[in-house]
Structure 1
Amino acid sequence: MPGSGKSTVGVLLAKSLALGFVDTDLLIQQSEGRTLQAIVDTEGYQALRRIEERVLCEVSGGHRVISTGGSAVYSERAMAHLSALGVVVFLEVTLPTLRQRLGDFSLRGISKPPEQSLEALLDERNHLYRRYADLTIVSDGRSQHEVCEAIVAGLPEEWRTS
């Protein structure tokens, strides 16, 4: 979900594990030459999901932390690809926490139907996040560093010493 801490915690995790870091939202923006919101505004949320799937499936190699957009889970193909690359981590947050972190989320380039509420989006995606996650970390009430530590502790040994 947007506001779950994927990018911030991803950078901390990459530093902690001495790995590279990739933010696929930035890869999408580089590939398309425009922001996520511009894609949604001009072509709609489904176009953003198609672009995201393509970009995610182009990510190669291991030994790095990959922060995906929150809608990555709508693509079985992309999630299978990411799962083959490593451990898929779900940063679980509650609706009140998301509302606090996001404020006005209308300009965030979120891949969702215009009429869908944040609550409905969270409900819809949480089911998918749990389906694909190898590791779920509850991040409510934790600092970004504590979330990072919880991820490291939950990783298989071979990932902690790579």
Structure 2
Amino acid sequence: MPSPLNNVVLIGMPGSGKSTVGVVLAKAAALAFVDTDLLIQSHAGESLQSIVDNNGYEALRSVEEQVLCNLDVTGHVIATGGSAVYSERAMQHLKRNSVIVFLDISLATMRQRIGDFSLRGISKRPDQTLEELFAERRVLYTRYADLVVRGEHKTQDQVCEEIRREAC
């Protein structure tokens, strides 16, 4: 288990299982759980998709950075939004007392799990394809990760157990 000062931070693409695995991991490791997408929505007073639709993807990333940099918790599993890795400042803040776990899935699995991306509040440039976004983010996830866990063909319990074995 992480020391009482440590958190486990989950990063990865939408559909990688950050929120789902996060809840299971928090229960299994007797830690608290926080989903930063919910904190962002609460802070902004609107859904992620609404932020993107009304103010653009940069606005979502800005609010996300602010929320992450103000997050001051210990003994938590933290499920981040997929675009958290665009903020060097936020990721360094999280790294100070956390193990960063990249939940790695393929583009095909992401598409299968998500379905209609237009409803997900995904922070991407309007001219950017999902393939380009996937490739761009994968580099950032790998850069910040202390541990990479492949989610392909694994249940949420199997992913959770691997994280507990390696990071907790």
User: How do 1:3-152 residues align onto structure 2 when only pairs under 5 Å count?
Assistant: 3-152=15-164
Kindly indicate whether structure 1 or structure 2 has the higher relative contact order, using CA contacts under 8 Å at least 6 residues apart. 2
Cα displacement (A) at 1:103: 1.1
CA contact (8 A) 1:45 1:111 kept: yes
Residue deviations 1:80-104 (CA, integer Å, cap 9, x gap): 0111121000000001101100111
Residue deviations 1:57-114 (CA, integer Å, cap 9, x gap): 1110210000000000000000001111210000000011011001111110000012
Residue deviations 1:2-48 (CA, integer Å, cap 9, x gap): 11100000001100110000000000000111000000001000010
Question: 1:87, 1:107 → 2: CA distance?
Answer: 30
Structure (1/2) with the larger helix percentage: 1
Aligned length: 156
Structure (1/2) with the larger strand percentage: 2
SS in 1 for 2:149: strand
- Flag structure 2 segments of 5+ consecutive residues without an equivalent: 1-12
TM-score (normalizing by structure 2): 0.91
Amino acid at match of 1:131: R
Question: 1:150, 1:112 → 2: CA distance?
Answer: 30
Amino acid at match of 1:93: I
Question: 2:44, 2:116 → 1: CA distance?
Answer: 25
SS in 1 for 2:118: coil
Question: 2:126, 2:156 → 1: CA distance?
Answer: 30
Deviation above 3 Å: which 4+ runs of structure 1? none
Identical counterparts, % of pairs: 61
CA contact (8 A) 1:73 1:79 kept: yes
SS in 2 for 1:55: helix
